[in-house]
Amino acid sequence: MSQDLDRAVRALRAGGLVVYPTETVYGLGGDATDAAAVERVFEAKGRDRTRPISLAVPDIETATEFARPTDRERAFMRRFLPGPVTVVLERSENVPDALTGGRDRVGIRIPDHDLALSLLAEFAPITATSANVSGEPSARRVADLDGPIHEAAAVVLDGGETPGGGSTVVDVETGTIHRRGANATAVAAWLEEHEE
């Protein structure tokens, strides 16, 4: 494990925040099961506490520890993850209210990025939210990070410039695309093809 990755894992274990690259933009990660760490993410972003934050995991198997996917949702995840898609699922009791704004569903993300997956293989789940102050542009390079995010992060993992854009956020159960991002057309086609 690289020195930076090791530092990031130690920071997460201690309740700290890390910035990490994904296949869209840089993300801000904290222990998604630790309400205090989740609170630090909201604080750093200046984000409204009623707006839920998704969580990132390394694989579908790990996702099932924090959510209860149906067979149809599992089939969708096998098709689109890892990738720039956030799947909204029924949460398990391991997920704190702080993360979901008290809702009974949680967004699950498996980023298609080697450095992010290496981090998640060592520590999961972490929060999956863009590493920017709410209302400001997302960061595609470490140099683009907002001051408050840089200050809040114990470790910044530099993965070079990311492609940008956002993940497509989808609730497979209701067939709703909450946010169109990368792969949105393919997601919509899958939902149509696999209507219940």
- Structural domain including 26 reads 3-193
- Sequential DSSP letters for 47-76: --TTS--EEE-SSHHHHTTTB---HHHHHH
Kind of pairing between the strands at 105-109 and 54-56 = parallel
Query: Reduced to 3 states, what is the DSSP secondary structure of residue 121?
Result: helix
Q: Closest by alpha carbon to 89, among 172, 4, 186?
A: 172
**What residues of the chain score a pLDDT lower than 50?**
none
Name 154's Cβ contacts closer than 8 Å, sequence gap at least 6: 7, 8, 11, 14, 16, 17, 18
Instruction: Assess contact for 81 and 87: CB atoms under 8 A.
Output: yes
Q: What is the pLDDT of residue 195?
A: 84
pLDDT in tens, 68-107: 999 999 999 999 999 999 999 999 999 999 999 999 999 9
pTM of the model: 0.96
Q: What is the pLDDT of residue 103?
A: 95
Q: Within 13 Å and on the Cβ side, how many CA atoms surround 152?
A: 26
**What is the total count of domains within the chain?**
1
Instruction: Assess contact for 194 and 72: CB atoms under 8 A.
Output: yes
Instruction: Assess contact for 155 and 7: CB atoms under 8 A.
Output: yes
Q: What is the pLDDT of residue 1?
A: 66
Instruction: Assess contact for 120 and 8: CB atoms under 8 A.
Output: no
128: domain CATH number? 3.90.870.10
Q: Closest by alpha carbon to 100, among 44, 53, 37?
A: 53
